[in-house]
């Protein structure tokens, strides 16, 4: 039977009722749904162990490397099914992840690190590779200055920029950012945030996973809070940043120094889950 659901708008990224297991017993995600509109920027928040990395692994096709599998649900980008696809296929579909912890090839030069971002991409000419590299250097002038230096000699912030630049070499239409501020000084974090804004303004959709909730909520249009593998809150980032629950749990604020009454949290949940 043909589906009667209307086709998704081009480049909408959709996760629907996703359940992920590790081995036989660890269910890390339970029926998670979220959406990144075309050219949107969405933050995924949650405490340690909430399932943020698991969601990114499911999207990028790297779950099997961690002993995980999608049990049910779907992941689509512009209507194209990504569930169960290989990492190379996901990149070819326009969805590229910047891994947590930067993970650059420290013995390779900046230039060669950028080249690895295009490995395996089909139908791309040398001229277009050069043009993309120049766009990346324009976005990160510090990488242009150090293009022949070994990546291992860069500072933490510069390595984060290189990891982002390498992902941009594949010309993603959706960029997945895993903890871009991890281990960086506040000033460097601000620079990275500014670059994420520019990438987004130039038309790339972004899904950003962050422990630094204030940064993520400042950057994003919408946000989604995961709690022990389930979506606890979702809605416009500005509304979430005003939510008592988010302020207390993720922004480190303690309104009146008191614990929030449970009925307030329930009402907040109902409002943002709508
Ligand atoms: N390879 C794995 N094998 C078994 N269980 C795992 C594996 N990776 C993660 N888990 C479990 O899945 C759940 C979700 O973990 P996940 O790493 O996705 O959370 P997270 O929100 O990314 O946390 P963090 O911020 O600490 O990275 C946790 O209970 C974790 O222990």
Ligand 1 pocket, residue 66 CB under 6 Å: yes
Q: What is the pLDDT averaged over residues 212-216?
A: 87
Query: Which residue's CA is minimally distant from atom 9 of ligand 1?
Result: 54
**Structure-token pair, residue 5:** 């659901």
Q: State pLDDT tens for residues 48-89.
A: 889 999 999 999 999 999 999 999 999 999 999 999 899 999
Q: pLDDT class for 256, splitting at 50, 70, 90?
A: low
| Alpha helices, DSSP H, located in the chain | 52-60, 87-92, 110-116, 126-139, 141-145, 156-168, 186-201, 213-219, 237-242, 244-249, 262-273
Integer Cα distance of 10 and 248 in angstroms:
37
Give the residue, out of 19, 21, 28, 55, with the most ligand 1 atoms within 8 A of its beta carbon, to mutate for a pocket test: 28
Q: State pLDDT tens for residues 174-187.
A: 999 998 888 888 88
If we measure between CA atoms, which residue out of 200, 243, 203, 202 comes closest to residue 221?
200
Name which residue leads in pLDDT, 260 or 248: 248
Query: Which residue's CA is minimally distant from atom 24 of ligand 1?
Result: 48
Ligand 1 pocket, residue 113 CB under 6 Å: no
Q: State pLDDT tens for residues 113-131.
A: 999 988 767 666 777 888 8
Ligand 1 pocket, residue 67 CB under 6 Å: yes
**Structure-token pair, residue 98:** 């910047």
Q: What is the pTM of this model?
A: 0.86
DSSP letter for 54, please: H
Q: What is the pLDDT of residue 1?
A: 46
| Alpha helices, DSSP H, located in 202-259 | 213-219, 237-242, 244-249
Q: What is the pLDDT of residue 204?
A: 94
Q: What is the pLDDT of residue 83?
A: 95
Integer Cα distance of 67 and 120 in angstroms:
24
Q: What is the pLDDT of residue 268?
A: 41
Give the residue, out of 25, 47, 50, with the most ligand 1 atoms within 8 A of its beta carbon, to mutate for a pocket test: 50
Torsion of CA 162, 166, 168, 171, to 10 degrees: 170
Ligand 1 pocket, residue 45 CB under 6 Å: no
Name which residue leads in pLDDT, 2 or 183: 183
Ligand 1 pocket, residue 110 CB under 6 Å: no
Name which residue leads in pLDDT, 214 or 5: 214
Ligand 1 pocket, residue 26 CB under 6 Å: yes
**Structure-token pair, residue 109:** 């030069």
If we measure between CA atoms, which residue out of 64, 56, 52 comes closest to residue 21?
64
Chain mean pLDDT for the chain? 86
Q: For the chain, percent helix, then strand, then coil, each to nearest 5?
A: 40, 25, 35
ipTM comes to 0.97
Handedness of CA 163, 167, 169, 175 (dihedral sign): negative
Ligand 1 pocket, residue 51 CB under 6 Å: yes
Ligand 1 pocket, residue 47 CB under 6 Å: no
Ligand 1 centroid to residue 21 C-alpha, Å: 10
Ligand 1 centroid to residue 26 C-alpha, Å: 9
Give the atom of ligand 1 at the shortest distance from the alpha carbon of 50: 21
**Structure-token pair, residue 87:** 């990492």
Ligand 1 centroid to residue 27 C-alpha, Å: 10
Ligand 1 centroid to residue 141 C-alpha, Å: 36
């Amino acid at each position: 039977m043909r589906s009667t659901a209307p086709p998704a708008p081009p480049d909408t990224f959709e996760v629907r009722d996703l359940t992920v297991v590790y081995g036989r017993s660890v269910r890390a995600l339970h029926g998670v749904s979220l959406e990144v509109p075309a050219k949107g920027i969405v933050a995924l928040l949650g405490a340690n162990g909430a399932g943020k990395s698991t969601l990114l692994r499911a999207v990028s096709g790297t779950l099997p490397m961690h002993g995980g599998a999608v049990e049910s649900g779907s992941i689509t980008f512009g209507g194209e099914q990504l569930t169960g696809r290989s990492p190379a296929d996901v990149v070819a579909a326009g969805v590229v992840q910047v891994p947590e912890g930067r993970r650059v090839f420290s013995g390779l030069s900046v230039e060669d690190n950028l080249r690895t971002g295009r490995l395996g991409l089909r139908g791309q000419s040398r001229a277009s590779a050069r043009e993309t590299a120049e766009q990346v250097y324009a976005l990160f002038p510090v990488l242009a200055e150090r293009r022949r230096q070994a990546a291992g000699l860069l500072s933490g912030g510069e390595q984060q920029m290189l990891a982002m630049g390498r992902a941009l070499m594949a010309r993603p239409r959706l960029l997945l950012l895993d903890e871009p501020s991890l281990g960086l000084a506040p000033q460097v974090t601000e620079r990275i945030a500014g670059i994420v804004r520019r990438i987004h303004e130039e038309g790339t959709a972004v899904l950003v996973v962050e422990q630094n909730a204030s940064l993520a909520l400042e950057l994003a249009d919408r946000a989604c809070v995961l709690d022990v593998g389930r979506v606890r809150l979702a809605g416009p980032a500005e509304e979430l940043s005003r939510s008592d629950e988010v302020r207390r749990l993720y922004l480190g604020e303690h309104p009146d120094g008191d614990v929030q009454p449970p009925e307030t949290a329930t009402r907040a949940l109902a409002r943002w889950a709508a």
